Amino acid sequence: MGYLHFEVETAQRSKYERSPSGDVVEVIRTKEHTTIILCDGLGSGVKANIFAAMAAARLKELLSSDFSLRKAFTNTVVTMEEAKQADMPYSAMTVVRILNDGLTTILSYETPTPLFLAGKTAYPLKGRVYNNGTAFITELNCVINTGEGILITSDGVTQAGIGKRFTLGWETEGLNSFVNSLLQKGEIPKHLPKLVEEQAVLHWGPKQGDDVTIVVCSARKGRVVNLFTGPPTDPADDDTAFESFFANPGVKLICGASTAKIAARYLNKPLKVNDDGCDSITPPDYDIEGVDLVSEGAVTLNQVYNIWDEDTQKLDPDSPVTILYSLLTAANRVNFYLGRAKNPASEDIAFTQMGILRREKIMPLIIEKLKLEGKLVVVREF
């Protein structure tokens, strides 16, 4: 089936102009699953934002401490209930966890019912409500396949227009009807959050009564890039490492002359140097049959990092640096194979004088850039 990518789109409108939203959204990607957290802090503005951020941080902390999804959510709900009973600020919450095969678990505490998106149809998911001893939690389950998705909101959406245009607000039924009308007109899931936000604000009228947040997560075939840089520490691991690398689906990239030589030997293919466009700025690249791009190592990686936020119109489209940058930023999942063998050339003082960071220093910076863009990054070291 290949890599199934779960694309997350969010739209928000604060109750008060130039004030932070009291709703907080977090997205966590790992090689096993995608997790979405939506916390709706009591009230609106700065204080509500702090309450929601604290609840999201608490839930993330428990999840990172190997708590199961249900246990982490239940423990956080207990904390919220204790705050509520003590007449202290708290946050409503929804958490969504989607496994790589699309199997999805949604846990909800005082938040609106999620909608399932299937082609040109949307409908509210049915779940089971249980009491954890302190509060009622709703659990919903579904499977998201390619072209499908889910939509979750804060109650600023379903309560839009309450006491004005609608007696009880827009409610889930009204929201679902609106989303259905959009899907039947051919709107794609990516556009739904903004359109729902605009409609909710319209229902509120001149005086918006609450923060509005909409999150849509939809599934599609993902773009995968595999990058190998640096020889393995133990040459005995060369074949094992490259066997794994070439077995992965997706685009294949190699950075580093030494790494390229090992790959060429493994594939039993010649390594050709392309230095026609090489100059004091542009590093050389290479050709190996079966590899999409083969470039020089440290200099290329440093230049990729340096151009990250630059206008792409300024870049040379034929430079291996530009090509590598474009492939990385177009990916949804990047699998890095990092060889940890020492490279004597990178220890040369000239590298330091020119500001060229060694592989072990530049790679974490590139990985952080990719993660900030919402990409799934998987790292293997050899």
| DSSP notation for 225-280 | EEEEES--SSGGGHHHHHHHHHHS-SEEEEE-HHHHHHHHHHHT---EEE-TT--S
Same domain, 371 and 234: yes
Is the predicted pLDDT of residue 50 greater than 70, yes or no?
yes
How big is the CA angle at 153 (ends 213 and 169), to the nearest 5 degrees? 95
**One domain for residues 216 and 238:** no
Out of 221, 256, 278, a domain closes at 221
Based on the domain organization, do 268 and 352 belong to the same domain?
A: yes
Task: Look at residues 181, 197, 221 and tell me which one is the last residue of a structural domain.
Answer: 221
Distance CA 320, CA 285 (A): 6
Q: Which pair of tokens denotes residue 320?
A: 């291996």
Tell me the two tokens of residue 229. 């840089």
The model's pLDDT over 138-164, given as tens digits with 9 standing for 90+, comes to 999 999 999 999 999 999 999 999 999
User: Mean pLDDT score of the chain, rounded to an integer?
Assistant: 94
Alpha-carbon gap, residue 192 to 214, rounded angstroms? 8
Q: Is residue 137 over pLDDT 90?
A: yes
Q: Are residues 316 and 206 in the same domain?
A: no
Q: Please indicate, yes or no, whether residues 160 and 19 belong to a single structural domain of this protein.
A: yes
Q: Which amino acid is at 132?
A: N
Which two three-digit tokens encode residue 123?
Answer: 């409908």
* pLDDT (mean) for 39-67: 94
**What is the extent of the structural domain holding 46?**
4-221
CB 381 within 8 A of CB 338: yes
**Tokens, residue 6:** 């779960």
Whether residue 342 has pLDDT greater than 90? no
Whether residues 35 and 175 fall in one domain? yes
Distance (Å, rounded) from C-alpha 234 to C-alpha 382? 8
Within this chain, do residues 160 and 230 fall inside the same structural domain, yes or no? no
Number of domains in the chain: 2
The secondary structure of residue 3, as a DSSP letter, is P
Asked whether residue 148 falls in the same domain as residue 262, the answer is no
CB atoms within 10 A of CB 292: 14
Same domain, 205 and 230: no
Residues 282 and 328 in one domain: yes
Nearest to 94 by CA among 75, 115, 112: 112
In terms of domains, do 253 and 274 share one? yes
Q: What is the pLDDT of residue 278?
A: 66
The predicted pLDDT at position 48 comes to 93
Average pLDDT over residues 83-106: 93
Return the ∠ at Cα 215 (arms to 56 and 132), rounded to 5°: 45
User: How does pLDDT run across 292-328, given as a tens digit for each residue?
Assistant: 999 999 999 999 999 998 998 899 888 999 999 999 9
337 and 312 fall within a common domain? yes
Residue at which a domain ends, from 196, 221, 246:
221
The CATH number of whichever domain residue 139 belongs to comes to: 3.60.40.10
Contacting residues for 45 by C-beta, under 8 A, at least 6 apart: 14, 15, 16, 19, 20, 22
- Beta-carbon count within 10 A of 327 CB: 17
pTM (predicted TM-score): 0.88
